[in-house]
Amino acid sequence: MENTIAAISTSTGNGGIGIIRLSGKNTFNIIEKIFRPKNKSNEIKGYSIKYGNIINPKNNEIIDEVLVSYFVSPKSYTTEDMCEINSHGGMIVEKRILEICLENGAELASPGEFTKRAFLNGRIDLSQAESIIDLINSKSEMEAKESINQLEGYLSTKIKEIEQEMLDIMVNIEVTIDYPEYDVEEVTNVEALEHLKKIKGLLEKLEGSFEKGKILRNGIKTVILGKPNAGKSSLLNLMLKEDRAIVSDIEGTTRDSIEEYININGIALKLIDTAGIRETDNVIEKLGIEKSMKLADSADLIIAIFDNSRELDENDRKILDFIKDKKAIIILNKVDINLNNEYNEKEISNLCKPTIKLSAKFGNGLDELYEEILKLFQFNEISNNNELLITNERHKTQIRKAKENIEKAMETIESLMPVDIISIHIKEALSDLGEITGENVSQNIIDEIFSKFCLGK
């Protein structure tokens, strides 16, 4: 890249330190103009740090006392010459230093431009660059772990393996086309069909991992469903371990709809409290439950909570009916009130849903609930093996497209079309996968991906 870019890389606000980053051919020239190291040596070594002052070269005013790290091309984040100025934290100082960099030849970096350069300069591929945003935005340890795997190139390696399989078929087909006198077309077709089946299987497995990956990325969207006074707010509070919602003896006092993230063994649970949805007028209480159900319709998980100190009523039954075919866990709440409600249990057991007896007031049963959630989403498995998960919508779309092209190739063989037509579809599939790693991807897509980055990354 011709120009040298600069940006504040730490988040805004008053932190202990701030980092202003520079990358490009002119980095060291600019630093020389604005930085007065205490140790006067002019030598620039990669991976070294110098201590000194940032000054305004116009009037020699000292802006801050800083540490400057040097990265000599190609051993840097962007592969270009880079410096990171560690200043004192705080908006004013950081902004002043950035301004001085800009006044002395740097240009303000656009969001994600450092990472974009790392990609354009070939240090990382596109899926690795995307994993960096995912890592920064991770809401759970599991998601972060998946992003790191992707950054380390797990996905790229897998995609390359599948691409290689496709290329192997292409080679065989080319031979058939180039040497028709050998009359190997029939053999090639049978072999190619087998091979394509295998590739389709690999792509399907990857595509299928997206649902799990999506949950990993966004958290398990969870709605707690129950009639008024069943204990929704109490359960939510117990899970959040802090009093966010108002718990009250008066029905319907919880008004705010609340969204919170909690962490269960590294999996994010996005909790949506529907307690506030209930209409104030008792007559239309049902409407409230219906509204909650609407919210629950788009949830990944429903926690249906019932007051087990009373007999189930019409509202409870409505909820039971609603969750019949959904991913749900049933909670029999208020078990601390010692009542024998076998009828409830019997009725509920018909649904064959995981059922947990719990006291939202005293907290017993919560561990069982968490265990059940992890089991339901099979997250007890991925922590053990390093299963590759697709977490990115764009990647999933490309994998699906590749799979469809492989299917087309299979159809061409099955309908005995000429062998060169098969190769057209395989080439398409190769190009679909190439877009994941960024080998053949349009400028628009690249721009769109990097625009999602934060400034200074």
Residues that bind ligand GDP (CB under 6 A): 226, 228-234, 247-249, 254, 275, 333-334, 336-337, 359-361
Given the complex with ligand GDP, which of 228 and 438 has the nearer CB atom?
228
Pairing mode, if any, of strands 355-357 and 82-88? unpaired
Cβ at position 254, least distance to ligand GDP in Å = 5
Given the complex with ligand GDP, which of 1 and 262 has the nearer CB atom?
262
Cβ at position 286, least distance to ligand GDP in Å = 15
Given the complex with ligand GDP, which of 127 and 229 has the nearer CB atom?
229
Given the complex with ligand GDP, which of 159 and 245 has the nearer CB atom?
245
Dig out the tokens for 333 from the structure: 């709440």
Given the complex with ligand GDP, which of 24 and 226 has the nearer CB atom?
226
Cβ at position 354, least distance to ligand GDP in Å = 18
Cβ at position 296, least distance to ligand GDP in Å = 14
Dig out the tokens for 408 from the structure: 């087309």
Residues 6+ apart with CB under 8 A from 39: 50, 51, 52
Sheet (strand 48-56) strand order: 35-37, 48-56, 61-71, 82-88, 17-23, 5-8, 107-108
Given the complex with ligand GDP, which of 332 and 449 has the nearer CB atom?
332
3-state DSSP call for residue 228?
coil
Cβ at position 223, least distance to ligand GDP in Å = 13
Given the complex with ligand GDP, which of 6 and 275 has the nearer CB atom?
275
Q: Cα–Cα distance between 136 and 429 in angstroms, integer?
A: 31
Dig out the tokens for 103 from the structure: 């006044």
> Can you name the residues that pair with 50 across neighbouring β-strands?
68
Cβ at position 373, least distance to ligand GDP in Å = 19
User: Which DSSP state fits 247?
Assistant: P
Dig out the tokens for 117 from the structure: 């350069």
- R_g over Cα of the chain: 29
Cβ at position 365, least distance to ligand GDP in Å = 9
Cβ at position 233, least distance to ligand GDP in Å = 3
CA 17 to chain centre: 28
Q: Count other C-beta atoms under 10 Å from residue 309's C-beta.
A: 16
Q: Cα–Cα distance between 82 and 25 in angstroms, integer?
A: 8
* Secondary structure tally for the chain: helices H, strands E: 16, 13
Given the complex with ligand GDP, which of 250 and 352 has the nearer CB atom?
250
